[in-house]
Amino acid sequence: MKFFISFLFFFILKVGFSQTLYLDKVSNVSKRTYTYQKTEDHKKLKLDFYKPKKVKGELPLLLYIHGGGFSGGKRNDKNTVNFAKNMAARGYAVASISYRLTMKNRGFGCNTRSKDKIEAFNAASEDISLAVQYLLKRKRKFRLDTRKVILVGTSAGAEAILNLVYVHNTKILPKAFKFAGVISMAGAIISIDQITKETAIPTQLFHGTDDKLVPYNIAAHHYCETNSEGYLVLYGSKAIANKLKKLEQSFYLYTIDKGDHSWSGKPMQRCIPEILNFLYYDVLKKQKRQIDRTI
C-alpha cells in the first residue's frame, strides 16, 4: 500500500511538472554575434543568435527585425533581448538582425517621397533575405530546421517582413524556399493583390485601431494628405486578415481597441502566450485556424 501511494505521488508530481517543448521554458540560453553581410560602405551587418543549450536536434528559427522607421532602432535593445531569450528558452533558435537604416537623417513621414519609402521597404527586405541566406548555408552549424523559419517584426520591421513575404520578389533566396510563418506587430504593406492561396502562410497580426503611423485597415501611411510627397496607401493588419479570411487561409488577428502605435513593441512583453499559441498550433502543428480577437 505504501509503495502504491509513493508511486502515485511520484506520478502526479511528474505530470504536474511536465514541460512541453515550444510552449514551456525547457532550457537555459546561449548567445553569439555574427556578421552576415558587409555593405558597400564597408559597414558590417550583424545578427545575434540565441539558442537553447539543452534542446537537441534541428531547431525552428525565429528571425526578428526591429522597428525604428528605417532610421533607428537596435537589434539588441532590452525588449528584444528579453524576447529572444524567452523564446529560445522554449526551444526556438532566435536571430535578431541589424539592417541598413536607409532613412537615417531623412525622416519617414509625409515629407518623404513615397518612392523612397518603398525603396526602404525593399532594402530592408533584401537585408533580411541575406541574413536568411547566411543562416540557411550554415544550417548544420546552427542546427536549423529550414522548413520552419518564421519572421517576426515590429513597426518598420513588421513592414519589412510583410513586404518580403507578400510583395517583394526576392532573388536572393532559393525559389523552393518558403517561410513557415510571419508575426507582424503594427505592420502594413503597399498591396494585398499578391496574397493568394499559393503565397499565403500562417500570419499573426497585432495592431491598435488608433495607430496614427501605420494604418490598422486601409489608409495612407502616417495618414498623409493626398497632395503630400509621402502619400502612400497601405494595407494594415485588418485588411491583410480580411484577405486571408476570404482565401480560407490561416491568420491570427489580435486587435487592440483604441490602441496606438506604441503597441508595436508591447506584444513582445504582454502577449507571449498568444505568440506561443500561434507558433505551436498554426506553424508547427500546421492547424488551419482563423482567429480574430479584440481586447
CA nearest to 256, candidates 204, 295, 217, 213: 295
Paired strand residues for 251: 203, 290
CA–CA separation, 259 and 138 (whole Å):
40
Model pLDDT, residue 260? 98
CA–CA separation, 59 and 30 (whole Å):
14
Percent of the chain with pLDDT over 90: 92
Q: C-alpha angle 151/155/159, rounded to 5°?
A: 60
Percent of the chain with pLDDT over 70: 94
Helical H runs in the chain? Answer: 2-16, 78-88, 114-137, 139-142, 156-166, 237-246, 267-270, 272-277
Give pLDDT tens digits for 192-203. Answer: 999 999 999 999
Average pLDDT over all residues of the chain: 94
CA–CA separation, 139 and 251 (whole Å):
28
Which one-letter amino acid corresponds to residue 86? N
- Reported as half-sphere exposure (CB side, CA atoms, 13 A), residue 235 has a value of 17
Q: Are 233 and 117 in contact (CB under 8 A)?
A: no
CA–CA separation, 146 and 179 (whole Å):
9
Q: Are 110 and 225 in contact (CB under 8 A)?
A: yes
Which one-letter amino acid corresponds to residue 183? I
Model pLDDT, residue 15? 37
CA–CA separation, 176 and 164 (whole Å):
15
CA–CA separation, 186 and 86 (whole Å):
21
Confidence band for 7, pLDDT divided at 50, 70 and 90: very low
Model pLDDT, residue 41? 80
Residue 213, all three cell numbers: 503611423
Give pLDDT tens digits for 201-250. Answer: 999 999 999 999 999 999 999 999 999 999 999 999 999 999 999 999 99
Q: Are 22 and 90 in contact (CB under 8 A)?
A: yes
Give pLDDT tens digits for 127-176. Answer: 999 999 999 999 999 999 999 999 999 999 999 999 999 999 999 999 99
CA–CA separation, 143 and 128 (whole Å):
19
Quick one: DSSP state of residue 249? Answer: -
Q: Are 254 and 267 in contact (CB under 8 A)?
A: yes
**What structural domains and CATH numbers belong to the chain?**
29-294 (3.40.50.1820)
Q: Does 5 have pLDDT greater than 50? A: no
Q: Does 4 have pLDDT greater than 70? A: no
User: Which positions ≥6 away from 11 have C-beta within 8 Å?
Assistant: none
